[in-house]
Amino acid sequence: MTFPGQTAGLSPLTDPLIKSLEIDRTTISISYLVATLAGALTMPLLGKTLDKYGTKLAITVTGFAFSGFLYFASYVSDILGLTVSYIGLRMLGQGALTLAATTLIARSITHRTGLALGITGAVGSAGISLAPIAIERIVTLYDVATAWRIESALIAIVVLPIAFLLPRESSKKSQSSSSELREGLARPGDYQTSQAIKTGMFWVLSAAGFTTGMLSTGLAFHLISILGTKGLSSVEAAANFIPQSFAAVGATLLIGAIIDRVDPRWATAGSMLALSSCLVFLIFVRPGFSALLFGLLLGSAMGSLRGIEAAAFVRYFGPSNIGAIRGLSTSIALVSTALGPVYFALGFSISGTYTAASLAASILPIAVAFSALLVKPPPLRRNENDG
C-alpha cells in the first residue's frame, strides 16, 4: 500500500499532469526532486521515532496522514500545489510507511529474518508493480484527481485497520528481546548509528540503495516516455510494470531465502551488475520480447536489492538501533530518487533520446559492485553507549 508514494505509482500520472498543468518534463522532474529531497530530510528523525515509540504508532499516524495528503493532491491546480503533494506522498509513502513496515519485520522475526523480509518485499513489489496498470486505466477513463481520491480511500480502508490490529510495541520491549534476535543472526552485536557510519559496509549498502533508487526511479518516472521512444504505446509501456513485478517478486524471494546463509556483499554486487545490464540493454529495446526482457532485468535488479538491504543491516549492525541506522540510509536513498527523474529529463532535453543518459549511468552500479566485493564486513561488537 505504499504504491501511491512510489515512483511506479506516480509514473502513469506524469504525462497527464504535464498536460493538465501546462508544464514541461523538466519542470515536473524538478518539482519531484524538491519534494523528494524534503521528504528525505525527515527519514533519520522518523527512524529514531520508530526506535523510541514503536512501529504501531508510526504506521497509524502515517496511514492517517498519507490518506489525507492523497485527498489534498486531488485538488492541485498548479506546480506549487503539486510540489506540496509530492512532498507528502514521497515522505509518507515511499519513506515512512516503507521504513516502518520493514523495521517491524526486522525486529519481530527471530528466525530466518532474511526470508521473512524477502516474502514481505515480494508482496510489496507485486503490489507496487501492478498498481500502474490500474492507475493508467483510471486516469484514461476519468482523470488524475479521481485516481488520487480512490487511492486515498484505499489507504484508509486497508492500512488503518492493519495498524490498529498490530500489538503495541515499545522501545524497551524491542530492546529487551534483542538477545533473542541476535541468536538468529550471523553477526551478533548492536551498533550505535555513529558507530555504523564509520564502517565501509554501511556506505556500500547505502551506495547500492542510492544507485538503485536514482536509476530505477528515473526510468520508472519517465517510463511511458522512454518506452514510447522505442515504439511502445502508453498501455504497452504501463504494462511493462508486469514483468518488472514478476521479476522483482522472484528476485526478492530468492535473495531473501538465501541472504541468511550467504555473504550479502556478493548479493549486492550481483544486484548492481543486473542494474547496469538493464541500462545498457535499453538501447536495444523494441516492442515485443526485448521490452519484456528489459522489464525482467529492471525488476530483478530492484527486487534483489530489496531482499538484501534490511536483512543485511540487521546482520551487520544488530536490531536495537536498526530504525535510526536504516532511517539514515533510507534518507540517502530518497535523495537519489529525487535526482533520477531530473537526470533522465535533462538527458532527453539535451540529446532528444534517453540512450546517452542510460549508457553513462550504467557505470555507477559497476563501481558500487566492485566496492561491495572489496569492502570488509564490520567487526563484531557489543552495545557501547557513545552518547
Average pLDDT over residues 43-54: 75
Which stretches of the chain are DSSP H helices? Answer: 7-21, 25-40, 43-53, 55-73, 79-89, 98-108, 113-141, 144-165, 171-176, 178-183, 193-196, 200-221, 223-228, 234-239, 241-258, 264-281, 289-317, 322-351, 355-361, 363-374
The half-sphere exposure of 143 on its side-chain side, counting CA atoms within 13 A, is 11
Q: Is 292 exposed, middle or buried (0-12, 13-18, 19+ CB in 10 A)?
A: middle
CA distances from 291 to 15, 58, 160, 165, 375 (A): 20, 39, 38, 42, 35
Q: Report CA 271 to chain centroid distance, whole Å.
A: 14
- C-alpha to C-alpha distance for 81 and 75, rounded to whole angstroms: 8
| 294-329 burial: b if 16+ Cβ within 10 Å, else e | bbbbbbbbbbbbbbbbbbbbbbbbbbbbbbbbbbbb
Q: Using pLDDT thresholds of 50, 70 and 90, give the confidence band for residue 146.
A: very high
- C-alpha to C-alpha distance for 247 and 240, rounded to whole angstroms: 11
- For the CA atoms of 315, 120, 335, 69, the dihedral, rounded to the nearest 10 degrees, stands at -140
* 3-state per-residue secondary structure call for 119-157: HHHHHHHHHHHHHHHHHHHHHHHCCHHHHHHHHHHHHHH
Average pLDDT over residues 277-302: 90
- C-alpha to C-alpha distance for 80 and 86, rounded to whole angstroms: 10
- C-alpha to C-alpha distance for 241 and 132, rounded to whole angstroms: 7
What would the grid cell of residue 356 be?
546517452
Q: Are 155 and 67 in contact (CB under 8 A)?
A: yes
Whole-number pLDDT of residue 189: 53
Whole-number pLDDT of residue 380: 66
What is the CB neighbour count within 10 angstroms for residue 376? Answer: 9
Whole-number pLDDT of residue 175: 44
Mean pLDDT of the chain: 82
Q: What is the pLDDT of residues 322-375, one digit of tens each?
A: 777 877 887 788 788 778 888 998 888 888 889 899 999 999 999 999 999 999
Q: Which domains does the chain have, with CATH numbers?
A: 3-374 (1.20.1250.20)
Q: Using pLDDT thresholds of 50, 70 and 90, give the confidence band for residue 303.
A: confident
What would the grid cell of residue 310 be?
534490511
Average pLDDT over residues 131-159: 89
Q: What is the pLDDT of residues 247-276, one digit of tens each?
A: 887 887 788 777 777 788 898 998 899 999
Instruction: State the DSSP code for 3.
Output: G
Q: Report CA 33 to chain centroid distance, whole Å.
A: 15
| 61-71 burial: b if 16+ Cβ within 10 Å, else e | bbbbbbbebbb
For the chain, what percent of residues have pLDDT higher than 70?
Answer: 91
Choose the weakest-confidence range: 1-10, 67-76, 202-211: 1-10
Q: Are 121 and 306 in contact (CB under 8 A)?
A: yes
Average pLDDT over residues 157-171: 77
Average pLDDT over residues 68-87: 90
Instruction: Answer whether residue 141 shows pLDDT above 60.
Output: yes
